[in-house]
Amino acid sequence: MKRTEQLTKLKQTQEWDVIVIGGGASGLGTALDAASRGYKTVLVEAVDFAKGTSSRSTKLVHGGVRYLEQGNIPLVQEALKERGLLAQNAGHLVKNQSFVIPNYNWWGGYFYTIGLTVYDLLAGRLSLGRSKYISKEKTLALLPTVEQKNLTSGVVYQDGQFDDSRLAINIAQTAVEEGACLLNYFKVVNLLKDDHNQVTGVQAIDHETGIKYDIKGKAVINATGVFTNAIMKLNDTVYKKYIVPSQGIHLVFDSSFLPGDQALMIPKTSDGRVLFAVPWHNKIVIGTTDTLIKKHSLEPIALEAEIEFILETAQRFLTKKPTRADVLSVFAGLRPLAAPKEEGKSTKEVSRSHKIIVSETGLITITGGKWTTYRRIAEDIIDKAIAVHSLPKKKCKTEQLSIHGNIKTDSAARANHLYIYGTDIPKIAELQNMEPELKEKLHPDYDYTMAEVAWSIRYEMARTIDDVLARRVRLLFLDARAAISCCEKVAQLLAKELGHDEIWIQRQIAEFKHLANGFLLSDFHEKQT
């Protein structure tokens, strides 16, 4: 997947069947669905693929235990089916993860065992394993650092765990392999319309050259997540709010706070939320919060109240008490929830189901949804595009479509940090053999090498330090200080590969350090106080 080749494809095509705006989970899934059906498809992303919400999830592929408690059976059932399909189609990135719920009252074990047995049954043949009640002793064996006081029992259940932005990149590669044209750093600035006020395409600027392109097509899909309202402003004559952003944050800690392979699930925190502590790339990710916010940005900042909430909850349930000083990285993401009809609804009341809106102009907009159901959302969008824009009818093919890199991996294979590349692993090893300087480690404390940086630039369309260290190699999310310390060597290689000068290198380093400071808890705290 090379940007120069994608740019050539764009210039050579007069009209597309499907134009997708937005390169997050829903947009990339839609481009893959359309291209695999045989439609001429182009996707443009204003920044980088999965730059926003889609790289900032809790790293779970799940049915949603909370939605089961709320009685939203259809949403849970749909998500559990998609969880199973994703495990089949992207086996290198999705794994079966054991979760343990510790119970601190006599009835909790029975209540959650019954509820999670229903959860398993809803998954049918795609179930990842049966839930079971376990004793206090077994709970402590699985979670050695869980709070022992008043602990009575535990419940173990199975769910999925994955790497979100790596999946986004692999979906993008699959879409390109299916014939789609994908471009990052391509910002839509206008919608093209005919004399009848029907959308006939988009006008977009290539950020790297400043050149403006008129891209014409039959169906235009707005899959811009939290930026949906901005595209709708270009589309509507009267302004209306289509989405409300909800912020969720995560704190990342060393694995010593929750040693072993089990994830911890707290089904009811002090304010009624669900909290997870999940092993991820040899670290522990703890989250998430759920806060409706008024303003949104590409780099949302964790609120002090959110940080305190996660720390206090983690301290209450873990014997090794995490503090601010232990936080390796903090990241915030925004969920694009479909706006409620009534103002002032809490995030718990705002629908998590996806919603497709067809404007009078013919623009198709997707709101809501989540990573787990990205494939089904895409299928629904393209089915709607066929109906609205009279595209030739073609069946969806993504249920059994293998994602780029797909290979079944076990725990032994995952001991090699390169497991996330799946079938591309031998090619990265070959890079190191052909160019020995690429064997150099990015950081002494981590196994990542410069070969992975080169790979991301040459074959995964990484254009900036942020692209490399945040979404191709996940170092910024795992250890912000380590990412900052190795950003200069990444900038040097980017400049060499892409033909940039010293001025570009220095600007990139400054921009990345400023961005990465938002992932550092201490620096954030100093700015607030």
Closest Cα partner for 483 from 505, 528, 438, 515?
515
Confidence of residue 351 (pLDDT cuts 50, 70, 90): low
Q: How far is residue 144's CA from residue 137's CA, in Å, rounded to a whole number?
A: 10
| Average pLDDT of the residues in 283-307 | 91
Class of domain 95-161+244-338: alpha beta
149-160 tens-digit pLDDT: 999 999 999 999
Rounded Cα–Cα distance for residues 101 and 133 (Å): 10
Q: Is the pLDDT of residue 527 over 70?
A: no
Structure tokens at 100: 């343990």
Least confident of 187-191, 293-297, 366-370: 293-297
Q: Predicted confidence band at 528 (pLDDT cuts at 50, 70, 90)?
A: very low
CA-CA-CA-CA torsion for 440, 442, 446, 452, nearest 10 degrees?
A: -80
- The answer to whether residue 349 scores a pLDDT higher than 50 is no
Instruction: Look up the CATH architecture of domain 3-53+166-242+350-400.
Output: 3-Layer(bba) Sandwich (3.50)
Residue whose structure tokens are 């824009």? 389
**CA-to-CA distance for 118 and 160, rounded, in angstroms?**
17
Domain spans of the chain, in order of start = 3-53+166-242+350-400, 95-161+244-338, 418-528
CB neighbour burial string for 286-297, b if at least 16 within 10 angstroms, e if fewer: bbbbbbebeebe
* Alpha helices (H) in 318-389, listed in sequence order: 374-389
* Percent of the chain with pLDDT strictly greater than 90: 82
Phi, psi for 326 (deg, rounded to 5): -85, -10
Tell me, letter by letter, the H, E, C secondary structure of 119-141: HHHHHHHHCCCCCEEEEHHHHHH
pLDDT of residue 156: 97
State residue 237's pLDDT score: 75
Q: What is the pLDDT of residue 352?
A: 58
> Residue 529 — pLDDT band, cuts 50, 70, 90?
very low
Decide: 122 and 73 in contact? Cβ < 8 Å: yes
Lowest mean pLDDT among 117-126, 169-178, 455-464: 117-126
Q: Which residue has the higher pLDDT, 526 or 113?
A: 113
Condensed to tens digits (0 to 9), the pLDDT of residues 103-134 reads: 999 888 889 999 999 999 999 999 999 999 99
Segment (H or E) for 335: strand 329-338
- The per-residue pLDDT for range 471-509, each reduced to its tens digit, is 999 999 999 999 999 999 999 999 999 999 999 999 999
What does the pLDDT read at residue 107?
86
For residue 239, pLDDT beyond 80: no
The conformation of residue 402, written as its DSSP 8-state character, comes to: P
φ and ψ at residue 21, rounded to 5 degrees: -100, 120
User: pLDDT tens for residues 356-395?
Assistant: 999 999 999 999 889 999 999 999 999 999 999 999 999 9
Specify the residue for token string 């079944």.
408
pTM of the model: 0.96
- For 237-250, what is the mean pLDDT? 85
Q: What is the pLDDT of residue 179?
A: 98
Paired sense of beta strands 329-338 and 275-280, if any = unpaired
Mean pLDDT of 264-291: 91
Please tell me the distance from the alpha carbon of residue 212 to that of residue 204, in angstroms, as a whole number.
6
**Residue of 234, 241, 186 whose CA lies nearest to 21:** 186
The reported pLDDT for the residue numbered 522 is: 65
Cα first-last separation, the chain:
45
